[in-house]
Structure 1
Amino acid sequence: MGEALQLILLLITVVAGAIAIFFSFQLMKRYPLPFVNSYFYYLVFLYIFGVYGLIGSGVLAHLFTRMEVDDRTIQSARLIMVLLGIPFLALSKYMLLKTFKEYFQKNIAPSFTVTYFILGVAVLVLYGVFVIRFTRFNQGDFTWLITFQRWVFTGSLVFMYLLVWILTLLDSQKITGAYEKKFIRRFVAFYLLYMVLCCISFLFLSLHPILPFLFVFFLLAYHLIPILFLNLYLGKQHAPGSILQEDFDTRLEVFSGKYEISNREKEVIQLICRGMSNQEISESLFISLQTVKDHIHRIFVKTGVRNRVQLTNLIRST
């Protein structure tokens, strides 16, 4: 593959990954929800690993090759770059699990957190020992290190994304809202497909020169698809956090008088404007989910709006 084409593919991947982070940052600012915040950091940590640990090591190896540096030095540099990027990969996977748990308003069990990071440190130290033996003392086989690196990466990827998928399916059974349940199951399905694409392209890197670039592309750029899906969901189910202005209470009083909003409906509107879902409103007001839906339907009928975003915009303009 020509160098120009390689450079174009890398640039597309880096830019697409950066755009995904930018979009997630905008969502985090617009919808100040814990799971959106964790999702943003998941993308940031993964991007650092991809750009620094993978693309950076590849670019460095290419430059060293052009400079006619010996092969062992080149491989040593690549191993060290990947080693330094591994902590960001571990953090990204943890933040992904945190994202889905926070969607259900749950926390990761402290015992799991401790176990996860102890195992992560153990793997990092073990890998680091082999890297130091290879780079510092010229001991060990580079091929074995690459094989070890490949299978540990693939195994951890499959474990974490399958775990997230299974836990999400179990937790979603408790959701009574059909739209919320459909969204989170489809959203996690995007990441099950993501895992499959990454694993296939990673395990068969040596079969074709294009596969390493496809792997990095899937790793960093794929997230644009679930982000667009997430944006559609938040636009329908959550009001932007910016609606809570200093004069919000005054605006709401005027709004309620104008459209003959009851006190209970006013409470529902307040929670909508805080970005709460129907399920969260139900739990906050100690009423059934169906009652929440009935209140929202009456509010929409009285005000003539069709969704939450139109409702918040109407309050903002009052």
Structure 2
Amino acid sequence: MEFISLVIFIFSAAMAAGSILLVTRLLEEFAHPCFRSLFYHNLFISAFGFYGIWGQFIIMALAGSRLDPEIFSTISVLSLLLGLPFLVFAWMMLIRFAVEASGHKLRNWFTVVFLIVNFEIIAALSLVIRDMSFNDALPLFKYYYIAAALLFATMAATLIVRGDSVSPGRSDRIALALIITGGALAQSLSLLLIHHSAWMAMAFVFLLFAAITLMSLYLSYRADLKPVRLAEPLPLPNGFEDFIRKNEISPREAEIITEICNGLSNQEIADKLFISLQTVKDHTSRIYMKTNVRNRMQLMALVRGMDTGTAAGEHL
């Protein structure tokens, strides 16, 4: 079992890092707010997976034989309980991603109500299990996760399908809905059907990371995504030439900045300027470094802010 645990841990780490890197690349390539929500969803899911699940394996490996069974049981319950807030934020970001990917915006009151209700449920759960052993508390954790995961996955899938966004399009949104619901269902079945706690935990955490990885892979390599378009080409703002000179932007880099602000993707910029895609990526990376921004959205905000006197760095 130790070897299998190590293999699944390595796969979990690779999937967590890969999913976050893929969404980071999407953030740099497309100015769409849904990818920021997906980034945080993947981040919170990863935090729960490593803190709430793998943390128990690490404690067992390092000090399990030296700990009193009652103390180890208490630590295991606390580890799972303290990992639940990461799940709440992950589910909230999943719903936000679904709403934004469908072409709408999540209302502020929903976030407040969602967090209050879910943290009250966690508080109630903690009161119920405070004097329980890990084996007695585990079924409550399982049923809580199954009910919440299926509910929020269904909500997210419904919201993302019913939207009218063209990027991602309807067929892509249907595929994402299937990935979201399929992931939640597979995780729930692993909790219900696998009775050995260690095997159940490993299967569950593998499926947890697999779901965020599959969604990130689909968006990166299968979805027909389009950058946010402006109705008309962006006129150069006042001070753009001073901005170019101050940041030592080359003429070619200035052209790429203009096309990024007009909503063109890297491939479309390469086609328009008759240069390779890799050249566009290299220029874009240098532009980010020179202007002290992290992605397209920040660069566009920086350029658009020139007319209102926004200084470089104020967007951070």
Instruction: Give TM-score scaled by structure 1 length.
Output: 0.70
Contact 1:42 1:95 in 2 (8 A): yes
Are residues 40 and 316 of structure 1, via their aligned partners in 2, closer, same or farther at CA, if it must alter by over 3 Å? farther
Q: Distance in 1 between the 2:20 and 2:263 partners? A: 24
Percent of paired sites with the same residue: 18
Residue 31 (structure 1) shift: 2.1
- How many residue pairs align between the two structures? 258
Contact 1:20 1:221 in 2 (8 A): no
Residue 28 (structure 1) shift: 1.5
Q: Distance in 2 between the 1:74 and 1:205 partners? A: 22
Gaps of 5+ in 2: 276-316
Deviations 1:245-293 (A, max 9, x none): 9789x98xx99xxxxxxxxxxxxx9699426xxxxxxxxxxxxxxxxxx
Query: Quick check: 1:129 aligned with 2:101?
Result: no
Q: Distance in 1 between the 2:266 and 2:221 partners? A: 11
Q: Which position in structure 2 is the counterpart of 1:148?
A: 140
Q: Distance in 1 between the 2:168 and 2:119 partners? A: 40
Residue 200 (structure 1) shift: 0.7
- Indicate the structure with greater helix content: 1
AA in 2 matched with 1:91: F
Q: Distance in 1 between the 2:226 and 2:32 partners? A: 12
Query: Quick check: 1:98 aligned with 2:96?
Result: yes
Q: Distance in 1 between the 2:21 and 2:167 partners? A: 30
Are residues 61 and 204 of structure 1, via their aligned partners in 2, closer, same or farther at CA, if it must alter by over 3 Å? farther
Gaps of 5+ in 1: 135-139, 256-268, 276-307
AA in 2 matched with 1:35: C
Contact 2:161 2:174 in 1 (8 A): yes
Q: Which position in structure 1 is the counterpart of 2:161?
A: 169
Moved more, 180-189 or 198-207: 198-207
CA-based RMSD: 3.4
SS in 1 for 2:104: coil
Instruction: Give TM-score scaled by structure 2 length.
Output: 0.71
Residue 219 (structure 1) shift: 0.4
Q: Which position in structure 2 is the counterpart of 1:43?
A: 42
Task: Spell out the pairing of 1:57-206 with structure 2 (5 A cutoff).
Answer: 57-67=56-66, 69-131=67-129, 133-134=130-131, 140=132, 142-171=134-163, 174=164, 180-206=169-195
Residue 110 (structure 1) shift: 3.5
Which protein shows a greater Rg? 1
Are residues 85 and 102 of structure 1, via their aligned partners in 2, closer, same or farther at CA, if it must alter by over 3 Å? same
Contact 1:38 1:95 in 2 (8 A): yes
Are residues 208 and 56 of structure 1, via their aligned partners in 2, closer, same or farther at CA, if it must alter by over 3 Å? closer
